[in-house]
């Protein structure tokens, strides 16, 4: 099991108006069994239990705190820009991954519904920095600290962390607000990306927000 607290030179105080929360792929398609047949099998029990009992409640706490602190919140979802998905990446076409624009399955789950002025970025690749204008948006928002949580840890979350670090953001990964399909995959990913981010837990992030300096 990955041990916290994680020692990292990226463990720095958050700065008011330069810190943003990014929630990755918290959509009905990946969290509700009627949309994803893989979630009906016995191997999905761990993932569903972790997401519904830990990840979503912790993300709700993060959302509430960021909103109260008036810091920027962004959501990214997998969703085609077209109804027929012709704009998708080659990888998504080969994987037969298509969530039509405006579809129910593409929608963020009710517990995490964005509020007015929160930014939602639809993507058609695993990496949000590859298929959206998030870098442009974050720089316009004067973001320095990017706090990331979501699913799945070793796929789209992993790519968001690495790409954000490469572009000069101070990345914080909220470990107990992320999930993948097995504990081993989760821990392996954390060990692989610990050089790109500070890995911590929800309670620590909430404390940092309260201590945030101008």
Quick check: bond before 187 cis, omega within 30? Answer: no
Residue with tokens 């081993």: 184
Comparing C-alpha atoms, which of 111, 120, 16 is closest to residue 61? 111
Longest dimension (CA), the chain: 48
Strand 119-123 to 72-78 pairing = parallel
Q: How far apart are alpha carbons 149 and 88 in whole angstroms?
A: 24
111 DSSP 8-state letter? G
Strand ordering across the sheet containing 119-123: 119-123, 72-78, 19-24, 145-151, 170-179, 198-200
C-beta contacts of 31-39 below 8 A and 24+ residues apart: 31/56, 31/109, 31/151, 32/105, 32/109, 35/105
Hey, what are 54's tokens?
């830990």
CA distances from 33 to 37, 42, 214 (A): 6, 12, 44
**Strands, E, within the chain: which ranges?**
19-24, 72-78, 119-123, 145-151, 170-179, 198-200
| pLDDT tens across the length of the chain (214 residues) | 788 878 899 999 999 999 999 999 999 999 998 888 778 777 789 999 999 999 999 999 999 999 999 999 999 999 999 999 999 989 999 988 899 999 999 999 999 999 999 999 999 999 999 999 999 999 999 999 999 999 999 999 999 999 999 999 999 999 999 999 999 999 999 999 999 999 999 999 999 999 987 7
pLDDT at 104: 93
């Amino acid at each position: 099991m990955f041990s916290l607290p994680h020692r990292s030179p990226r463990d720095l105080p958050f700065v008011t108006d330069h810190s943003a929360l990014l929630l990755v792929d918290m959509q009905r398609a990946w969290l509700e069994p009627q949309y994803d047949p893989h979630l009906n099998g016995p191997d999905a029990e761990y993932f569903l239990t972790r997401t519904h009992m830990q990840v979503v409640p912790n993300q709700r706490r993060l959302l509430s705190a960021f909103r109260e602190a008036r810091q920027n919140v962004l959501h990214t979802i997998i969703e085609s820009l077209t109804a027929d998905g012709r704009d998708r990446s080659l990888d998504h076409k080969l994987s037969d991954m298509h969530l039509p624009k405006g579809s129910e399955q593409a929608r963020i789950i009710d517990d995490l519904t964005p509020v007015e002025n929160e930014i939602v970025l639809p993507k058609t690749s695993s990496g949000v920095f590859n298929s959206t204008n998030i870098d442009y948006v974050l720089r316009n928002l004067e973001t320095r600290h990017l706090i990331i949580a979501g699913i799945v840890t070793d796929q789209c979350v992993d790519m968001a962390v690495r790409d954000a670090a490469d572009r000069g953001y101070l990345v914080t990964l909220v470990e107990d607000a992320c999930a993948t399909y097995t504990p081993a995959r989760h821990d392996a990913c954390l060990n692989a990306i610990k050089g790109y981010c500070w890995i911590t837990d929800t309670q620590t992030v909430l404390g940092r927000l309260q201590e945030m300096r101008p």
